[in-house]
Structures are given as C-alpha cells and as structure tokens.
C-alpha cells in the first residue's frame, strides 16, 4: 500500500538533504518519481540543501493542483511511483488533501519534508494538515542545538539582530536582504525562544563569555 509520510524538524535538521537522498535512493532502485518544492531559499523550482546539494524541481504555487497534475501525467502515459515534496509547510491545506488522494486513489507514495511551526511557534497550515492526514509523521533524528548547547526546538527570525514574533509568515531564509533590514534565522531551545535570547543578544548582555559555536 502506498503511504503519505511527513518528515519534520527544525531548520538545519537536514530535511532537504533527506528529501534529495530519498529521491536518489528510490531512483536507484528503478522507481520513477517527481520532485516538488515551494519557496526554496535557492529560488523557484529548486530543492537545495545547506550541504550544497541542489536539484531542479516543480515549483508548487498556491493554485497548483496535485490531483490534476498527476492524472494528466498518467493519462499521457507517464509512470509515477512516488512524489518527494520539500518545503511542504508552505503548501496549501487543500494541496495536502490532494496529495492524500493521490496516495489513496492512485497508489503513489508521497514523501513530504518540512518545518512544523513558524517563527511565532504556530503551526504552518500545510504542516498541520499533514499531521492530520499522514500515515506516518517522523521527526528527524539529526539534533540541532541552541547557542546554549541544549536541543533546539524552535525557529527564530531576527531583523537587524533583534528577534521578532510578528510579521509575514513566509520570508525565505538565506536571502540577500535589503541593506536597511538584515533578516536571518536561528534555532533556539524553548526557554531562549520564549525570552527572545538569541546568540547575538547573549553576547551583548554577557550572559556567557562566548556563545557555543552551535546552531
């Protein structure tokens, strides 16, 4: 039976690396798949890993219809054994519903990879729908660490070095930000996310002589 699987973790946990590895492993066994992404930091229609790996993919716009895409491809004689869907937290809930339908009705495996919560600690709608529908939800075992050395559980967004908790949900990381606003991301433990204590702020207030080189 085909399955809908959701692999999740914080930033830097290796989700895109695992997505590319999953695609490689299945292709190496003669299976034929399609690679999808949305709002990747490297640009449209690209799956990129922080390790430097990249692959061309289908960009999932808000109006992209997975069911129609799949049916059209199969009608034209294409073979599809699996989908690998990166940055799935950015998909619309109805797109997750369509992926579940692809699994159930067409027996195509779907492997989704994405972050569970945004910088405000709220569930992404796409990720929430995946948790509701997936046959399995797996947490990546690669442990990311807060600057303090504890396990990181939350994603933080900073602007000009200051952690923020309001604003646009989707601001792609690793982008060339305008000179007047430097936007970056950092992973933190719950305690330091709750306090708004980033590595830069910890250095500034001298809580530690030098934050550990983690994160």
What radius of gyration, in Å, describes the C-alpha atoms of the chain? Answer: 18
The residue extents of the domains of the chain are 4-139, 154-204
Residue 110: which H helix or E strand, with range?
strand 109-114
The predicted-structure confidence for 186-198, as pLDDT tens digits, reads as follows 999 999 999 999 9
Q: Which of 57, 60, 83 is nearest to 70 (CA)?
A: 83
Distance CA 164, CA 153 (A): 17
Q: Which of 136, 34, 123 is nearest to 86 (CA)?
A: 34
Q: Residue for token digits 């992926």?
A: 99
Task: Kindly state the DSSP code that residue 102 receives in the 8-state scheme.
Answer: H
The predicted-structure confidence for 63-76, as pLDDT tens digits, reads as follows 999 999 999 999 99
The predicted-structure confidence for 143-185, as pLDDT tens digits, reads as follows 789 999 998 889 999 887 789 887 776 665 443 444 456 788 8
pLDDT at position 108 over 50: yes
Residue 126: which H helix or E strand, with range?
helix 125-133
Residue 137: which H helix or E strand, with range?
strand 136-139
When the candidates are 3.40.50.300, 3.40.50.720, 3.50.50.60, 3.40.50.1110, the CATH number that belongs to 4-139 is 3.40.50.300
Edge-first strand listing for the sheet containing 183-188: 162-164, 154-159, 183-188
Catalytic residue set: 87
Pairing of strands 46-48, 54-56: antiparallel
Please tell me whether residue 31 adopts helix, strand or coil conformation. coil
């Amino acid at each position: 039976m085909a399955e809908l699987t959701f692999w999740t973790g914080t930033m830097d946990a290796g989700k895109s690396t695992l997505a590319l590895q999953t695609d490689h492993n299945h292709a190496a066994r003669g299976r034929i798949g399609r690679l999808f992404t949305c709002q990747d930091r490297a640009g449209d229609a690209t799956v990129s890993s922080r390790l430097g790996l990249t692959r061309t993919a289908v960009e999932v716009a808000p109006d992209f219809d997975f069911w129609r895409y799949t049916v059209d491809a199969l009608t034209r004689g294409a073979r599809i054994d699996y989908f690998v869907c990166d940055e799935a937290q950015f998909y619309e809930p109805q797109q997750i519903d369509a992926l579940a339908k692809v699994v159930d009705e067409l027996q195509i495996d779907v492997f989704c990879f994405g972050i569970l919560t945004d910088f405000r600690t709220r569930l992404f709608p796409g990720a929430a729908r995946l948790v509701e529908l997936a046959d399995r939800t797996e947490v990546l075992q690669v442990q990311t660490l807060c600057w303090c050395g504890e396990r990181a559980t939350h994603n933080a967004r900073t602007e000009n070095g200051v952690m923020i908790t309001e604003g646009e949900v989707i601001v792609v990381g690793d982008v060339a930000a305008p000179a007047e606003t430097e936007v970056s991301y950092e992973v933190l433990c719950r305690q330091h996310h709750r306090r708004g204590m980033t590595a830069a702020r910890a250095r500034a207030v001298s809580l530690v002589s030098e934050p550990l080189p983690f994160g």
